[in-house]
Amino acid sequence: MKSILIIGAGLSAKVLINYLSEQAKKHNWNVSIAKRNVNTIDDIDLPKIQLDITDDKARYECIKKFDVIISMAPARYHNLVAKDCLTLGKHLFTASYITPEIKAMEQEVKEKKLLFFNECGLDPGIDHMSAMKIIHNIKNKGGEILEFESATGGLVAPEYDNNPWNYKFTWNPRNVVLAGRDSAKYLDDGNYKYIPYHRLFQWVKPINISGLGDFEVYPNRDSLQYRYIYGLDTVKTMLRGTIRRTGYCKAWNGFVQLGITDDSYEIENIDKMTWKELIFSFLPNIPGKSIEDNFCDYIGINRNSEEFHKFEWLEIFTDKKVGLQKGTPAQALQHLLEEKWKLEDTDKDLIVMQHKIVYSLQGKKHIVTSSLSYIGKDQINTAMAITVGLPLAIAVDLFMQGKLQKTGVLLPIEPDIYNPILEKLEEYGINFIEEEN
């Protein structure tokens, strides 16, 4: 009997688990789940293994018993899992970015005829596959790609968008609070652009997604590497970014300028602080000036502006307790936002993605815009969980059935990989609307 081990059972894993458990019944596969605390997944009707992923011996002995390993653990643990898979000769699947450590294993992975399949979630994942399909179609008809822009966002569905930030957490809150801290680099009309963190949220581009309206994009960390991954060595513009509703970035930039997204030190006496006191600790002492006016002057906004309304709505100028015993500025902000940006039980989330590709063909310039919008079903089957977990589940299913016969450390960027996955995703309503002019 073929066997699969899923390590981790977070939000995105639930969709993957459900899909593969159904396929396992059809094909007589054994699917098990390994997790530190199996008591939190009583609702899952599959064999469960209690595992501390940092315990080298326990992890090794656990992986040894299975043919295919799916790591849905936090990305920082993938290298540990990959090391054991390589030693034990096991195939590995993740939705996360290829790490330099896993990339360095490529030769030995090939020699052992193994598949280490990565970046097959939403972003990275669906973004790669949908973009490469367009890129290959353009190249196959003789076109030359001049500009490539791609962006993805996890937001709240319009009918549940009821706060002035037009945002609620649909993914890891810590990642949202710390977004952009590694700065960004991209290519703009042949010019290299390097954007430091303290200016990142000032460098936004407007976009429009048909049927949903206006959004803005801030640049992701390293767009330049995708020239080579996507085979676009001569492209003049290369930008990958994150989508937010218009106005979000200008307000978030205020937090960056204030310094409250810093995660490098702990605040003294935070257990006794109110939010008003915490905010004031980042501001200059100006006698006679209100904290609100002081704040606005410091970050460069008007007190009558929409940006100030966003901050005021968060209650950061009040005597509301911070509510932490200890913590960094970023942890304090995250704690507040988890309350204020919570996705309620009846809320549904929204995934948006858009590619814009400019190419020339027979002396004429063409623009392709390909857009995806997908709304979640419920609190388990969120749009984020489905679009992260389902592509990886489909890839594992194809592999188990012998329809994905590859070896090496791979991404889903070849037609024989992305076509069957994209076709299956369309059955679930995950499809792109393409326009060309």
217 and 353 share one domain = yes
Residue 170 sits at the vertex; the CA angle it makes with 166 and 174, to the nearest 5 degrees, is 100
Return the pLDDT at 11.
76
What is the chain's mean pLDDT, rounded?
Answer: 95
> What is the residue range of 310's domain?
266-326
Return the pLDDT at 389.
95
Count CB-CB contacts under 10 A for residue 126. Answer: 27
Give per-residue pLDDT as tens, 252-305: 999 999 999 999 999 999 999 999 999 999 999 999 999 999 999 999 999 999
- pLDDT surpasses 90 at 348: yes
Number of domains in the chain: 3
Q: Mean of the pLDDT values across residues 127-139?
A: 98
Helices (H), 28-141: 56-63, 78-88, 100-103, 106-111, 126-140
Q: What is the pTM of this model?
A: 0.93
Return the pLDDT at 44.
81
Give per-residue pLDDT as tens, 140-178: 999 999 999 999 999 999 999 999 999 999 888 999 999
138 and 212 share one domain = yes
24 and 103 share one domain = yes
CA-CA distance, 68 to 30, in Å (whole number)? 10
Give per-residue pLDDT as tens, 187-237: 999 999 999 999 999 999 999 998 899 999 999 999 999 999 999 999 999
Return the pLDDT at 351.
97
93 neighbors 421 (Cβ within 8 angstroms): no
130 and 116 share one domain = no
- pLDDT surpasses 90 at 182: no
244 and 361 share one domain = yes
Burial class (CB in 10 A: 0-12, 13-18, 19+), 375: middle
Return the pLDDT at 36.
87
262 neighbors 197 (Cβ within 8 angstroms): no
- Identify whether 124 is preceded by a cis peptide bond (ω within 30 of 0): yes
Q: What is the CATH number of the domain that holds 191?
A: 3.30.360.10
366 and 229 share one domain = yes
314 neighbors 260 (Cβ within 8 angstroms): no
Write phi, then psi, for 390 (nearest 5 degrees).
-70, -45
Give per-residue pLDDT as tens, 25-53: 999 999 999 998 877 777 788 888 999 99
- pLDDT surpasses 80 at 390: yes
In a domain? residue 257: no
